[in-house]
């Protein structure tokens, strides 16, 4: 436990709010780009959907979302490095990623930035919830498509063969 009392400052709240806003703006723009890519791929495969194309689109979307989250963490790490909270990029990124994912870290921010440990977790929770919603929608579309294909195959198999 630190011997000095912790007092939240307006500076800390303002920087935290700004970082959360930047994170959300990045996520919003990134999700729009990802959805454009996904919709373009869906349109490309619309006339001949397959299990592999549907899974491929879902996996690609997951990878792109992961890269988006990792890039959002860079913003927080850069801020912590700029403010001298960590001695190098690697440690700043490691700390930021662990806090962003709400895993937590063995490291702490300096006392005058301690509020940001919770704020980065809030940003992570908000963006992961958003990503989960998008992935849920994409997965549901994929499952619906596969069920329709299965139904068509069953209907075609049940039709009598004309001679």
Query: Which residues, 6 or more positions from 94, have their beta carbon under 8 angstroms from its beta carbon?
Result: 105, 107
pLDDT at 1: 53
pLDDT at 79: 98
Residues 138, 38: Cα–Cα separation, whole Å: 9
Residues 75, 81: Cα–Cα separation, whole Å: 10
Q: Return per-residue pLDDT of the chain as tens, 163 residues.
A: 556 778 889 999 999 999 999 999 999 999 999 999 999 999 998 888 888 999 999 999 999 999 999 999 999 999 999 999 999 999 999 999 999 999 999 999 999 999 999 999 999 999 999 999 999 999 999 999 889 988 988 988 888 777 6
pLDDT at 162: 73
**Burial classification of residue 11, based on how many CB atoms lie within 10 Å of its CB (0-12 exposed, 13-18 middle, 19 or more buried):** exposed
From residue 120, alpha-carbon distances to 98, 150, 153 in Å are: 10, 44, 49
DSSP structure class, residue 106:
S
Q: Which two tokens stand for residue 19?
A: 């970082």
pLDDT at 159: 82
Q: Which two tokens stand for residue 87?
A: 């001695």
DSSP structure class, residue 49:
-
pLDDT at 2: 54
Domain ranges of the chain: 10-153
Residues 90, 93: Cα–Cα separation, whole Å: 5
- pTM equals 0.88
């Amino acid at each position: 436990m630190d011997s000095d009392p912790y007092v939240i400052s307006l500076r800390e709240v303002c920087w935290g709010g700004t970082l959360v806003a930047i994170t959300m703006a990045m996520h919003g723009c990134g999700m729009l780009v990802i959805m454009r890519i996904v919709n373009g791929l869906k349109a490309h495969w619309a006339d001949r959907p397959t299990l592999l194309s549907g899974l491929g689109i879902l996996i690609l979307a997951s990878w792109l979302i992961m890269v988006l989250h990792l890039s959002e963490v860079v913003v927080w790490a850069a801020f912590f490095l700029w403010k001298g909270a960590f001695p190098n990029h690697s440690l700043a990124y490691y700390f930021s990623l662990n806090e962003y994912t709400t895993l937590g870290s063995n490291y702490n921010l300096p006392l005058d930035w301690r509020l940001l440990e919770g704020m980065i977790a809030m940003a992570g929770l908000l963006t992961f919830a958003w990503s989960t919603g998008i992935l849920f929608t994409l997965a549901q579309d994929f499952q619906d498509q596969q069920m329709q294909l299965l139904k068509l195959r069953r209907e075609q198999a049940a039709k009598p063969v004309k001679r």
